Amino acid sequence: MVATHPNSETVFTVLGDAARRRSTHSLAIQLGLSGAIAAAILVSAPQWWSLAFLAGWSTAYAAWGLIVRVAEAHESRRGSLNALLVAIAAAGTALAIAGIIGVALAFYTGNGKGVKDACGKGSTNERCQAFANPTKVSGPIK
């Protein structure tokens, strides 16, 4: 039988407490830099979308931290801001999961440095050398 704890910590409570402890200035800087990095990656190197998604998660985290301060200061708007906080948390979670899966796929499929990437520069693998330096054919095959 598993004992339940009514005040057990989740990933969201730990991250929420960490965001509440940070200064508004540092959250604003993180929001700007992470958003700019995510946009720059998507524009200049869209094949690295997984890294852009991880930067997007960082942006969502900072935005959540800033908006929770506003929600706690303005009790009259708390309901609509709570809905916005849930949407930001859902988007951040989706970005983090997709980014982690994308990075793992890049390593596994050989689009990143990993165990499947044996045919890199300076590889001595015979199969890689055969693909890199195919045998030249002097004429048509009969």
The answer to whether residues 61 and 18 touch, using CB atoms and an 8 Å cutoff, is no
Q: What is the pLDDT of residue 138?
A: 73
Per-residue pLDDT of the chain (142 residues), as tens digits, is: 445 556 677 777 777 788 888 888 999 999 999 999 999 999 998 888 999 999 999 999 999 888 888 887 877 777 788 888 889 999 999 999 999 999 998 887 765 554 445 566 666 667 666 666 666 767 676 6
pTM: 0.68
Q: What is the pLDDT of residue 115?
A: 47
The answer to whether residues 50 and 103 touch, using CB atoms and an 8 Å cutoff, is yes
Q: What is the pLDDT of residue 141?
A: 66
Report the alpha-carbon distance of residue 16 to residue 88 in Å, rounded: 12
Q: What is the pLDDT of residue 19?
A: 81
Report the alpha-carbon distance of residue 46 to residue 64 in Å, rounded: 26
Q: What is the pLDDT of residue 132?
A: 65
Q: Is 64 exposed, middle or buried (0-12, 13-18, 19+ CB in 10 A)?
A: buried
Report the alpha-carbon distance of residue 132 to residue 134 in Å, rounded: 6
Q: What is the pLDDT of residue 95?
A: 96
Q: What is the pLDDT of residue 142?
A: 65
Residue 106 structure tokens: 């890049």
Nearest to 60 by CA among 93, 14, 37: 93
Q: Return the DSSP state at 115.
A: T
Q: What is the pLDDT of residue 112?
A: 53
Rounding to the nearest 10 degrees, give the CA dihedral for residues 37, 112, 108, 103: -10
Residue 73 structure tokens: 């200061």
Q: What is the pLDDT of residue 118?
A: 59
